[in-house]
Amino acid sequence: MLVATGVAFLYGESDRFPFLIASGLMAATGFLFCALGFKAKEKSAGRREGMLIVTLIWILFSFFGMLPFLLGGYIDNVTDAFFETMSGFTTTGSTILTDIERLPHGILFWRSLTQWQGGIGMVVFTVALLPIFGGVSSQMFDAETTGTGISHERFLPRITQVAKRLWGLYLFLTLVVIGLLWIGPMDLFDAVNHGLTTISTGGYSTKNSSIGFWHSAYVEYVVTIFMFIGATNMTLIYFSLNGRVKKLLRDEEFRWYVGLVLLAIAATGLWIYHLGFADGVEVAFRKAAFQVVTLVTTCGFATDNFVPWGPFFWVVALILMFICGCAGSTGGGLKVVRAVVLTKILSNEFKKQTHPQAVIPVRMNGHVVSANVVHQVLAFVFAYITLIVLSCLVLTLDGLGFQEAISAAITAISNVGPGLGAIGPASTFVELPDTSKWFLSFLMMVGRLEIFTVLTILMPGFWKQ
């Protein structure tokens, strides 16, 4: 927040003092917590405390993060301010702002920075921090990284070193995409903001028309490539940059991820070319590639309003928003690895119909996936689908149409951003009822923290000794 304060002073705009006040309040609260917990015994913290701390941190940061919007009058109510900030930290990218370009530079930079923090925060949380809690959290970690060929011990010996290496990689990729965008039609400020929100697969932009503002094939291709990278397992990217490219290319999840993206691009490109939404093959490919990648990576940038593309693409979009990118990436959603495990379970069941006595294990990258991990995946997918269905019911009760309700539920829990109908890429979430905004904010956090972390806290057994 102090960095955003510096940007506000650099441009000398009206957001300087709101940032100073918000930063002061945040620092004061931090010192207060340090004083209260100064003599606390570390051994008293277990896996329940770990899950509770993680959840409370995301809620608390969102409340502090919304202060510059409220104090400066850029958003005039708590509901919208919290929704915008939670959408930022969870890298969802859904927005209630109707005129982004009227905002001062410091506020625009803060929006982008929340997504950049949220992106790497989730990667470190997933790959580096979860194993230290053990128990349920460790099982969640195993379930998410099933079949990637990566484990904490095989990557680096210490969790702090894992976090540092991932931060270094994340910063390096961010600087690369900023540089590439800067040498294009963007100025430095826009390049920095879009670099932060591209690699984090967040989707916040400094322009009302998002990436479409520049009408640049160069920008679209650069953003498409780095969105794709952002939704790839960061640990595999680290190995690739250290000369172990085969580890990435041989990874089964990554190959399925590439296959899903290419198939969706081909289907979408042919579809919009057939309907006349693209003038030429290259334009059809570029539009299809950008839209497919921005959805599957949960980024949510826009170059076109895909709602007029019709029901066929809507179905494709919902599938992409449901599955999303790879485990250990900045993307949200179900994750490709879980979809692969489910596909293999289904394939094995068909084989058992003709060979009922056969023992056919699920394999990923040539290794047998343990029954415990398979059960974890099945439980996660069931919880994921159930939560979407129940959320759709809640949202329809609050007055949303079916198209808006189902897409809002999926886009929130998968941290994608745009929906369908009245909340499509050309619209915002500002007209939604306040109840729906609070509920969607909750869904964003639940999805970002892999469902079980938050929902476990709501179970009565969590609070029993």
Encode pLDDT of 329-388 as tens digits. 888 888 999 999 999 999 999 988 888 888 888 888 888 888 888 888 899 999 999 999
CB-based contact 423:107 (threshold 8 Å): no
Kindly tell me if the per-residue pLDDT of 66 is higher than 60: yes
Q: Specify the higher pLDDT residue, 43 or 193.
A: 193
Give the per-residue pLDDT at 188.
96
Residue 159: which pLDDT band, with cuts at 50, 70 and 90?
low
- pLDDT for the residue 158: 56
| Per-residue pLDDT at 274 | 94
The pLDDT tens digits for 24-38 are 999 999 899 888 888
- DSSP state, residue 433: -
Percent of the chain with pLDDT over 90: 64
Give the C-alpha separation, 229 to 238, whole Å.
11
Whole-prediction pTM value? Answer: 0.89
Q: Alpha-carbon distance 163 to 115, whole Å?
A: 18
Q: How far is the CA of 97 from the CAs of 186, 202, 450, in angstroms?
A: 22, 16, 27
- Residue 84 scores a pLDDT above 60: yes
Instruction: Give the domain ranges of the chain.
Output: 2-34+47-454
Hey, what amino acid is at 76? D
Q: 108, 4 in Cβ contact below 8 A? A: no
Residue ranges with strand state E in 153-202: none
**CA separation (Å) from 176 to 45, 213, 408?**
39, 22, 33
- In this prediction, residue 43 carries a pLDDT of 61
Rg (CA), the chain: 22
pLDDT tens column, 382-409: 999 999 999 999 999 999 999 999 999 9
47-65 and 135-144 helices cross at what angle (nearest 10)?
Answer: 70
Average pLDDT for 6-13: 95
Write out pLDDT tens, residues 406-436: 999 999 999 999 999 899 888 899 999 999 9
What confidence tens digit (pLDDT) does each residue in 273-306 have?
A: 999 999 999 999 999 999 999 999 999 898 999 9
For 98-127, how does the pLDDT look when each residue is reduced to its tens digit (9 = 90+)?
999 999 999 999 999 999 998 887 656 555
* Distance, CA of 321 to CA of 416 (rounded, Å): 7
Compare 452 and 141 and report the one with higher pLDDT: 452
Instruction: Kindly tell me the burial class for residue 281, based on how many C-beta atoms sit within 10 Å of its own C-beta (0-12, 13-18, 19 or more).
Output: exposed
3-state SS string for 355-416: CCCCCCCCEECCEECCHHHHHHHHHHHHHHHHHHHHHHHHHHHCCCCHHHHHHHHHHHHCCC
Q: How far apart are the first and last CA of the chain?
A: 38
pLDDT category at 165 given cuts 50, 70, 90 is confident
Give the Cα separation of 299 and 228 in Å (integer). 9
State the pLDDT at residue 114. Answer: 95
Mean pLDDT on 15-23: 96
- Write out pLDDT tens, residues 200-254: 999 999 999 999 999 999 999 999 999 999 999 888 898 898 888 988 898 899 9
* CA–CA distance, 39 with 322 (Å, rounded to integer): 45
User: Following CA atoms 346, 348, 350, 354 in sequence, which dihedral angle do they give, to the nearest 10 degrees?
Assistant: -170
Residue 295, H or E segment: helix 281-296
Cα distances (Å, whole numbers) of residue 39 to 42, 53, 132, 347, 397: 9, 18, 22, 55, 48
Higher-scoring residue by pLDDT: 284, 45: 284
